[in-house]
Amino acid sequence: MTRLTVADLPPVTGAWREGDPVGSRRFVDLGALELESGDKLDAVRVAYESWGDPSAPSVLVLHALTGDSHVVGPAGPGHASPGWWESLVGPGRPVDTDRLHVVAANILGGCQGTTGPSSTASDGAPWGSRFPDLTVRDQVAAEVALADHLGIDRWHAVVGGSAGGMRALEWAITHPDRVERLFLLATSAQASAEQIALSSTQQAAITADAHFAGGDYYGADHGPVAGLDVARRIAHIAYRSEPELEQRFGRDTEPNGQFSVGSYLEHHGAKLARRFDANSYLVLTRAMDSHDVGRGRGGVVAALSRITARTVVAGIDSDRLYPIAQQQELADLVPGADRLRVVRSLHGHDGFLVEQDQVGALAAELLDPGPWS
């Protein structure tokens, strides 16, 4: 694997900007969006992709923190990476586009085509530091507006892992009549103190970068790529398991004397900084910190009791970021969930992306038109 470093990066982070090539993405302008905070975004654009016949039952696939709408397909114009769930969605695959219509949208606040801090505000300048704080519920509100635009009154299923699972939960709680089936993977009912602690440390790495400029670095010679690089390294430790890091790297060193595990983290930090926007990373992680399905609803138990969807809940046995007890809580409290499914993996939280055979089998179980197993 070729190792990237911050020195390999362009002067400003490679976030999407209006006018970039968009590949197979499509865009919908949804107008104004009222936020939970009372703020308002006057003009929201959502980037999305879809597969299958639009007249078939529709499935919403929700990506995680630094993912995007490109669930399947090669890298190319508008897509820095190939599809992130390549073996799950497509003809004859667990989410079978021969019989299902699949929609995936980029998250509100992101940097891959949907309105976010790097987008142009009404005054013609990038939002930058002026972009408002978001919650998971705000992000779902934008997805609801997209569904309305597409004429989708009810999802056959809503599927999400990690941050995508947070939005899937909010869909099923806020709009139970619009979600028939639900797949919750490596996620939780509310952000824990440890998750917020890890997130806030990553945020501090970005804002401490001398090139952050209070969030108004667009158009500058340098952006906060070093801070974003460090933030991703911190996150990546939590995404993988300790046994995996020990097995793969141990105390091995590179020819330059650097520990191999440090070189590995450096590569992943620089890789993200090449394709993602630091301000979006801040907005999205803060939204994840806000995640609490019980807020304003009488607590977690009351909120989860609203769900009417047939539900599969799955956790990763080696996940230290979203430990399996959090998924057990969901399986115990969501009325339509019969039991917790466990994905066996050495890869920690990233097992929801890596273990596509196991995850695909669970998705197929949920989407099977036959009786509930």
**CA neighbor of 3 nearest in space, from 273, 228, 252, 267:** 267
Q: What is the DSSP letter of 289?
A: H
Q: Which amino acid is at 53?
A: D
CB count within 10 Å of CB 109 equals 29
Only one residue has tokens 């362009």, namely: 10
Catalytic residue, from 58, 347, 349, 350: name it.
349
- Gap between the Cα atoms of 65 and 213, Å rounded: 23
Catalytic residue among 319, 345, 347, 350, which?
319
155 vs 58: CA distance, rounded Å? 5
Tokens (6 digits) for 335? 């009325």
Please state, in angstroms and as integers, the Cα–Cα distance from residue 104 to each residue in 89, 118, 157, following that order. Answer: 11, 21, 12
Rounded CA separation 85/73 (Å)? 9
102 and 50 Cβ atoms separated by less than 8 Å? yes
* Known active-site residue 349: yes
Inter-residue contact 66 to 94 (CB < 8 Å):
no
Q: How far is CA 305 from CA 297, 329, 333, 370, in A?
A: 11, 12, 7, 25
Nearest to 162 by CA among 329, 319, 356, 363: 319
CA distance 58 to 153: 10
Q: Which of 48, 28, 146 is nearest to 106 (CA)?
A: 48
Q: What does DSSP say about strands 58-62 and 310-316: parallel, antiparallel, or unpaired?
A: unpaired
Token code pair at residue 116: 């976010």
Q: Given the residues 69, 118, 162, 199, select the one marked as catalytic.
A: 162
To which H or E segment does residue 46 belong?
strand 40-51
Active site residue 162: yes
24 as an active site residue: the answer is: no
Q: Residue 15 has which token pair?
A: 């976030």
Which positions are catalytic? 162, 319, 349
